[in-house]
């Protein structure tokens, strides 16, 4: 057999058979509908073949140019977190029983995976202080969008959804994309530019019988802690709307869970619970609600339930209690098309939470709080630097503003020159904050690393932001 192409595993015989099956004599005839002006007239610049040893060495050379995230010199957050992943998490989640599992269409032969997802739901419900948590969404952004649509489906003749003006910009864009075809009007609520807190007066003026839900972030995208959650909850519920709360899951080791201040629907990003930071993912959307039939029946995703035999000796069994996917029910009644792509991430989160336990979560929460507040305090000693630039209380992330003509780009360049990565620039999304960046400090950052960050920023600012 003769191969027709050095990079494609197809023989001349295969090619002729395929062409014959579709009634064509040649590849040229197959592509005859493509105009000549769009065809490539030269050979592709593909290098000659190399031995496995040569290829391995080349890959190692290229990989050696990368800066490892393991050295903790990255202060980039903005929705994902750089956290330590215990070796036990990687070992357990890498077992073939988890890695190869697919959607549990046949529960009788998927008991292990169903039980694991049931444990995930139970752990997350306890952490969030809510009654029901589904078996995951794609990410926090899609979870927010699904929550907004869910409130509108339940709230008859209500088609508005309110969000804070300090919302994560990426989440807002995803929300807007989901809301437009559902004729949902998304409106922002103003905030105090000094404290970052939501304007209660503006909220009261916008909440009426056309609002289905109100969303709050705590901690917020800009890092400050929303201290008015009880008052906001009362305003929202007095108007007959639903309160949706977005939280940083690791903060719940030291902060109040959303269920304690009356959140009807809760969402979060589960990547920080044992999953690595990669190029755009993988992410894990956490979605839960209080026990209300209207909410539970409209919840997207899947719910795994536990049952048992009616007579002794009792035997447990796990089933898909709720499956609102178009694969399970009529398409027009489906509320979700999420498959099994996030199941492994949910398993990872369950393993991470079970290994750390309440004491471990508290320790991590306190470590992050100490480190981030230390970093903000030290940065604020630099003339022309304000940290935190918005809000009084911060937990992990905080805004740093540069004055006296110093630009965010200059600070970024200065940090990169010292093999550090700064935070996300806020100048485009939040122009009112001026030249500002969002820094993220977690448990992986030591005092020495933070001091090095402060020293580099000080040197850059002292030069007037010029290199």
Q: Which two tokens stand for residue 195?
A: 């404290």
Owner of token pair 């740093």:
400
Are 124 and 333 in contact by the 8 Å Cβ rule? The answer is no
CA gap 150, 139 in Å, rounded = 16
Per-residue pLDDT of 134-153, as tens digits, reads 988 889 999 999 999 999 99
CA gap 150, 148 in Å, rounded = 5
Residue 146 is predicted with a pLDDT of 94
Phi, psi at 94, each rounded to 5°: -85, 0
> If DSSP states are collapsed to H, E and C, what string results for 273-299?
CCCCCCCCCCCCEEEEECCCHHHHHCC
Q: Give pTM, 2 decimals.
A: 0.85
Average pLDDT value over all residues in the chain:
90
CA gap 388, 97 in Å, rounded = 46
Residue 2 is predicted with a pLDDT of 58
Out of 12-16, 148-152, 217-221, 376-380, pick the least confident.
12-16
Are 180 and 210 in contact by the 8 Å Cβ rule? The answer is no
Q: In the chain, pLDDT over 70 holds for what percent of residues?
A: 92
Residue 49 is predicted with a pLDDT of 83
Which residues of 314-382 form beta strands (DSSP E)?
A: 316-322
- Choose between 85 and 340: higher pLDDT: 85
Q: In the chain, pLDDT over 90 holds for what percent of residues?
A: 67
Residue 467 is predicted with a pLDDT of 44
For residue 203, how far is the Cα from the chain centroid? 27
Structural domains of the chain ordered from first start: 1-34 (no CATH), 87-353 (3.40.640.10), 380-462 (3.90.1150.10)
Are 411 and 458 in contact by the 8 Å Cβ rule? The answer is no
Q: Which two tokens stand for residue 88?
A: 């036990």
| Burial class (CB within 10 angstroms; exposed 0-12, middle 13-18, buried 19+) of 94 | exposed
Per-residue pLDDT of 106-116, as tens digits, reads 777 788 888 99
């Amino acid at each position: 057999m003769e191969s027709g192409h050095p990079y494609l595993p197809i023989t001349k015989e295969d090619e002729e058979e395929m062409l014959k099956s579709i009634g064509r004599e040649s590849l040229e005839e197959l592509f005859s509908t493509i105009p000549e002006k769009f065809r490539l007239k030269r050979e592709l610049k593909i290098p000659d073949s190399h031995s496995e040893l040569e290829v391995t060495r080349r890959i190692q050379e290229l990989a050696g140019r990368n800066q490892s995230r393991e050295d903790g010199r990255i202060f980039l957050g903005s929705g994902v977190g750089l956290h330590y992943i215990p070796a036990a998490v990687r070992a357990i989640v890498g077992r073939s029983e988890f890695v190869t599992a697919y959607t549990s269409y046949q529960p009788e032969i998927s008991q292990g995976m169903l039980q694991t997802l049931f444990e995930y739901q139970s752990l997350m419900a306890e952490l969030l202080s809510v009654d029901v948590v589904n078996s995951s969404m794609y990410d926090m952004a899609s979870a927010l969008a699904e929550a907004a649509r869910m409130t509108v489906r339940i709230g008859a003749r209500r088609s508005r959804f309110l969000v804070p003006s300090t919302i994560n910009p990426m989440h807002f864009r995803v929300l807007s994309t989901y809301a437009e075809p559902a004729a949902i009007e998304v409106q922002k609520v103003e905030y105090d530019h000094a404290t970052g807190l939501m304007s209660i007066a503006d909220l009261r003026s916008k909440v009426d019988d056309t609002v289905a839900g109100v969303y709050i972030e705590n901690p917020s995208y800009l890092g400050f802690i929303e201290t008015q959650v009880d008052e906001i909850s009362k305003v929202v519920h007095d108007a007959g709307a639903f309160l949706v709360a977005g939280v940083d899951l690791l903060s719940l080791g030291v902060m109040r869970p959303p269920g304690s201040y009356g959140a009807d629907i809760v969402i979060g990003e589960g990547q920080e619970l044992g999953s690595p930071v990669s190029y755009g993912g993988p992410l894990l959307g956490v979605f839960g609600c209080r026990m209300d039939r209207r909410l539970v029946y409209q919840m997207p995703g899947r719910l795994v339930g536990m049952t048992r035999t009616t007579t002794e000796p009792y035997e447990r069994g796990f089933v898909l209690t709720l499956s609102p996917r178009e694969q399970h029910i009529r398409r027009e009644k489906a509320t979700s098309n999420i498959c099994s792509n996030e199941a492994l991430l949910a398993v990872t989160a369950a393993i991470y939470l079970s290994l750390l336990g309440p004491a471990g979560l508290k320790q991590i929460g306190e470590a992050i709080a100490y480190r981030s507040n230390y970093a903000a305090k030290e940065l604020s000693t630099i003339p022309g630097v304000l940290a935190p630039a918005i809000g009084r209380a911060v937990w992990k992330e905080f805004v740093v503003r540069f004055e006296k003509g110093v630009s965010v780009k200059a600070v970024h360049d200065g940090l990169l020159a010292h093999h550090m990565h700064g935070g996300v620039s806020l100048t485009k999304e939040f122009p009112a904050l001026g030249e500002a960046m969002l820094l993220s400090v977690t448990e992986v950052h030591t005092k020495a690393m933070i001091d090095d960050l402060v020293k580099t920023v000080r040197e850059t600012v002292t030069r007037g932001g010029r290199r």
